[in-house]
Structure 1
């Protein structure tokens, strides 16, 4: 399918794999999408900036990069950043089309329904989009699909009006008459208000006046606040809604000076916010921020999980704002047809965006149209135009899940091991991401469907780096397809999935493909050295491990069903280390106790202590906490055995006390990700033993389940 991507300051139309419909989602064949002239022009401009200028405009991202450099080293961080920039990004967040497939657990939508869709990363400029139900609404019969595709813009404007809480007869000013301002002015007129509007562009002022706005003026030609005072008998406006975009602080100052005492100022646009106390203090103004489309926005439980807010308590969610906006178009109370509009077929999206960058008057609305949907033409596999020749004697890899970790760690490591690995395919739920990664790392094709990977006879190893809840099922499917498997931790998030994997190998009587879970820490240089020091100890050991894991907000996916929680999803790494230092001894018991949180910031698997004891006498404890300071090192391990103390600090340093053993140190963390792939290649190509035994992999998962049961019950 065709999709518009932003790359280095320009829009390009790429052929990418079509998405599959997700559970709780609908698959929509797009007929029209609306280009948000202001927002998308800004994104286009930003993407063309040199890296240093972007950094100046986005200092929060600079901090993230510096933190990553500290943890992962400079080269790995730069590889990840440059790969992200080279791949381009999906764009668009407002579209309309027809439902062609309905996912599991979806009610209220059927194939053939006309729908309008919202959401960045969802309602993209693409032929097919996979849309969560709370980001889609049905389109009334009399509303054409072109106008329906403005639904996101309408919901944004409507939320701004709701924050202003207008009443009949009030005078309200709209500052900025781009498309959001135009819609806002019409919404206010429909609410029975006297509407004043202001914009530097006289054509926009005229357009709003033609649509029913009462008064309009150019703030550059006369003092904005003085003009409003003149038009309101010296009192000022009851409310000012700021829909302009500017880095200047003057706009918000003008808005406050133009508002009456005890009036309201609502910010919808993106403006400078260096507030002057004198503008608002004596007037006792109310200042409101309007968040995008309304309640539910940025809440993954609402938007992705499909859980609605009850109407008696949250009357106007983003979904209900979308419905309300379309009903106003249906009734004739909202009419955008007379605004300046440009239309392009999706094949000419590059021209549309080039026009937005050019000097001169800009349209208020830009629509992209799409060819009629043909289900037979839908492909979930796209062959890359330039592909290196297939090589013999290497492991041909199908990557499943192409997120930041795979791009920042595993793919660069495979390049270092290019004599052992060749990337054949990249599969991602997001087709544009799959193609971007496939292009960067020279895969033969990209895909959005797992079956494409499983049915490819030229793939030897399936590398699974998806969200945690998919691991167990995908592992079993790949094994059943005869593929070797590397799966990022955890192996699975439920006992039933682990049992099914064990049953697979039992039925193969010890044979079958190789399975490796990404418990990379056991291959870290510091850990390998520690094991060498302790090899042949005459006493059992005591191992104390501390993980200062850091706080993760409760709404993060790691805490949701797809993540499995932090014990199952992350602490399993440490349970594998316990197994590694127990030399194959069986687990005899697991005891765990967690802090029962008094507030909502932590879950019950955020802060706990677990103890695992082994048949050989080893006692291993993990202190896992989200309550510590980020500035403190994340991980520390101390092992006591046979007159020695082995101490590891954050995978950068190993100290040994007792005996004549040397320690080890490095300038950056070395957690064993490169070594694990090197050893896996030795196993698959040279016939060496599995890097991690099946018993250890199953044991680490089952320890995590035992701990989870005790800390959450």
Structure 2
């Protein structure tokens, strides 16, 4: 299928061939008929892409500090690689979609195949959209009209936050598409509306809808205009839908408001507020968030947990429904706003020069019969079975920034036949960049391919065990990024399959630290004597809303990240964990805590301490390991510097940061192609996983737990 994407490195807008998505649980699959181009939002993305690095930094100064902190902790080159990888990630365009449902996911009971719906799907021939971001289109509303549903909801949410009453005077600053829709919605609320804009054409459209026009370009002073119109009282409310960098707009909004007036920001402007302007009038100011309550809430949008109507009357989905009801009744008329309807393949007519004037709303029209293929071939590389042919499931940050760069020095991209991603776009971008033959949204195609003998799994954590089981059942060797499993029953099922169905297939987990040259040097220096190991992870803060904290998805950071250091200590001691005790910060810590200390007891008498903290400063080293044994000490700092005390012939090893990823993948490919013992003994992988579970149980029960 075809999809419009934006290249943030050079600003190019591309119509890309990507695999069609599969329908997910709680979602529907939609064949797009129309999508609306949001000229304001999409123009900003195009202009950002076309800007050079310095201009990009000026536009996002808050990210510059993040980059500087990363340089301090990780070094210049890894940071630059991360920045360019981020900019190289294609961005899907569009969020105003209308089409016909062609598949319904499990759990969706109120929509059917054949229903016509509006959604926040992108500019793509096929989109998969969660149920709460989809609304059924009434029969008498055309596709062209329904395409305004989502963008209209942005204006509607601003109106709801302003809470206008009958007869109030409200000013809308910025009469782009959202501004015109907002002004018309205010008119439907019984308000007298003044529209401020520099474009005479937009003001004429506004005037035709009963909106009072004000054009500063023709000499109108917006503040004096409003004061004159309201007989010196001022506006009851101001909704700002403009997009500009100046602080003058917020100042004008304050000065034109009456005492105790309300200001709502829907657009993007400079926000250097004058305290005096707000203080003297006791003004209220609020920023509106997109389509309404539920936006950016994974429980609502992705998991389908609705907000109870008596307590949250207007969610984003109910806002969608309201817009469609207004279109159905004819109270909201969007037809005069449609400037052009362009076939998808002629997208450059719109995106070639987005700064041109005279355009209000541009619509893209889609082919009647799109390609439904879930796999797209990007080169004609010939593969040979049982020669280390690789399939990758997952095209996120780890694959993009770690796995594929590491494979360049080991397996080489020519060995990779497939890459699978849920939406098809991220996998396609990586396939093209790294010469991977096939991009797919159906990973089962690679499992059924006899040429593929190694599957690399880099998805979110809750899928690791299930995908490993499926790959083993298909007779494949498996590499799975940590953790192996996030629940004990998953691990038990995996062990059963590994033993009974695929005893000859290897399972490797991404415990890369043991393959670092620093860890290898430590192992060679220490020997087999009992030792005390202290590992400290200055992990950094991750917002509570992140999926990694979700016990059912990420498993929490102890399961998902601290396991790295359980494995590293196991490697250094040459022994297995027999008991675990974990203590965490706070009066009532949960399983997903990310500030904890773990004590490990080993079979050979060694001990380990893992301090996993998220409350440290980013400028300090992220990882530090200390080993004490036989009156000798090793100190490893951030996998860049290893210092030894008391060792004959060794005092220091210094490298660029090397956490062992490249060495692990190179060794893995050699084993797959040439044979040999498992890269990491499987019983050690299982023991590390069990120790992670024991840590959580210890926290809950307040005692040592045996493994």
Residues 48 and 32 of structure 1: CA distance in aligned 2, closer, same or farther (over 3 Å): same
After superposition, where does 1:413-432 map in structure 2 within 5 Å?
413-418=406-411, 422-432=415-425
TM-aligned CA deviation for residue 275 of structure 1 = 1.9
Alignment of 1:402-481 (within 5 A): 402-418=395-411, 422-481=415-474
For 2:651 and 2:32, locate their aligned partners in 1 and report how far apart those are by CA, in whole Å. 61
On the 8 A contact 2:460/2:554 being kept in 1, the answer is yes
CA distance in 2, matches of 1:522, 1:190: 66
Pick one of 515, 524, 544 that aligns with 1:554. 544
Counterpart for residue 598 of structure 2: 610
**1:172 to 1:311, Cα distance in 2 relative to 1, 3 A:** same
Q: Distance in 2 between matches of 1:58 and 1:391?
A: 47
User: Which position in structure 2 is the counterpart of 1:64?
Assistant: 66
- Aligned partners of 2:350, 2:304: CA distance in 1, in Å? 34
CA distance in 2, matches of 1:536, 1:181: 72
How far 1:558 sits from its partner (Å)? Answer: 0.1
**Cα offset, 1:93, TM superposition:** 0.8
The CA distance in 2 between the partners of 1:155 and 1:400, in whole Å, is 36
Query: 1-side partners of 2:531 and 2:353: how far apart?
Result: 70
Distance 1:460 1:64, change over 3 A: farther
* Aligned mate of 2:627, from 639, 658, 678: 639
Deviation, 1:340, is 4.3
The alpha carbon displacement at 1:656 in A equals 2.3
Q: What is the aligned partner in structure 2 of residue 22 from structure 1?
A: 24
**CA–CA distance in structure 2, aligned partners of residues 296 and 31 of structure 1:** 26
| Equivalent position SS for 2:269 | coil
Q: Which moved more, 1:37-46 or 1:574-583?
A: 574-583
- Secondary structure of 1:410's aligned partner: helix
Cα deviation for residue 456 of structure 1 reads: 2.1
Q: Is the 8 A contact 1:387 1:442 kept in 2?
A: no
1:86-101 to structure 2, matched below 5 A, reads 86-101=88-103
SS at match of 2:171: strand
Q: 1:300 corresponds to which residue?
A: 298
Unaligned runs of 5+ in 2: 702-707
Moved more, 629-638 or 67-76: 67-76
Looking at structure 1, the residues matched to 423 and 143 of structure 2 have their Cα atoms a distance apart, in angstroms, of 25
> Does structure 2 conserve the Cα–Cα contact (< 8 Å) formed by 1:420 and 1:681?
no
Question: Do the aligned partners of residues 223 and 672 (structure 1) sit closer, same or farther apart at CA in structure 2, a change above 3 Å counting?
Answer: same
CA displacement, residues 591-637 of structure 1 (integer Å, 9 cap, x when unaligned): 223334469xx865222222222222222222222233333322222
In the superposition, relative to structure 1, how do residues 211 and 654 fare at CA in structure 2: closer, same or farther (>3 Å)? same
- The answer to whether the 8 A contact 1:396-1:458 is kept is yes
Partner of 2:532: 542
Alignment partner of 1:528 out of 520, 537, 540: 520
Equivalent position to 2:375, from 375, 378, 381:
381
Q: 1:512 aligns with which of 483, 486, 504?
A: 504
- Where structure 1 has 5 or more consecutive residues not aligned to the other structure, the ranges are none
Comparing 125-134 with 365-374, greater Cα deviation is found at 365-374
Residues 582, 596 of structure 2: 8 Å contact kept: yes
TM-score by length of 2: 0.94
How far did 1:518 drift? 0.3
Question: For residues 124 and 667 of structure 2, what CA distance do their matches in structure 1 show?
Answer: 41
Moved more, 702-711 or 224-233: 702-711
1:612 to 1:418, Cα distance in 2 relative to 1, 3 A: closer
Residue 590 of structure 1, CA deviation: 2.1
Equivalent residues of 1:340, 1:365 under 8 A apart: yes
Q: How many residues are paired up?
A: 698
Q: Deviations over 1:215-240 (max 9, x none)?
A: 44445522110111111111111111
- Per the TM alignment, residue 204 of structure 1 is displaced from its structure 2 partner at its CA by 0.3
Structure 1 residues 536 and 703 mapped into 2: Cα distance closer, same or farther (>3 Å)? closer
Distance 1:306 1:298 in 2: 12
Q: Distance in 2 between matches of 1:159 and 1:508?
A: 55
Q: What pairs up with 1:144-293 in 2 under 5 angstroms?
A: 144-218=142-216, 220-293=218-291
User: Matches of 1:211 and 1:80 in 2, distance apart?
Assistant: 50
Q: 1:668, CA displacement in angstroms?
A: 3.6
Distance 1:486 1:421, change over 3 A: farther
Q: Is the 8 A contact 1:414 1:421 kept in 2?
A: no
Q: Quickly say closer, same or farther: Cα 1:623–1:88, change in 2 above 3 A.
A: closer
Q: For residues 192 and 201 of structure 1, what CA distance do their matches in structure 2 show? A: 25
CA distance in 2, matches of 1:477, 1:640: 42
How far residue 470 of structure 1 moved from its aligned partner, in angstroms, is: 0.7
- Which residue of 1 is the match for residue 391 of structure 2? 398
Question: Could you tell which deviates more after superposition, 129-138 or 180-189?
Answer: 129-138
TM-score by length of 1: 0.93
Q: Once the 2 structures are TM-superposed, how far is the Cα of residue 658 of structure 1 from its aligned partner? A: 2.5
* SS of residue paired to 1:677: helix
Displacement after TM superposition at 1:408 (Å): 1.1
1:577 lines up with 2:579 in the alignment: no
Q: Is the 8 A contact 2:576 2:684 kept in 1?
A: no
What SS is found at the alignment partner of 2:415? strand
Instruction: Measure the CA separation in 2 of the matches of 1:220 and 1:77.
Output: 49
Q: State the distance in 2 between where 1:541 and 1:76 align.
A: 33
Q: 1:173–1:197: 8 Å Cα contact kept in structure 2? A: yes
Residue 640 of structure 1 and its aligned partner are, at CA, apart by 2.2
Q: Name the counterpart of 1:664.
A: 652
SS of alignment partner, residue 186 of structure 1: helix
Please tell me the root mean square deviation across aligned C-alpha atoms, in Å. Answer: 2.2
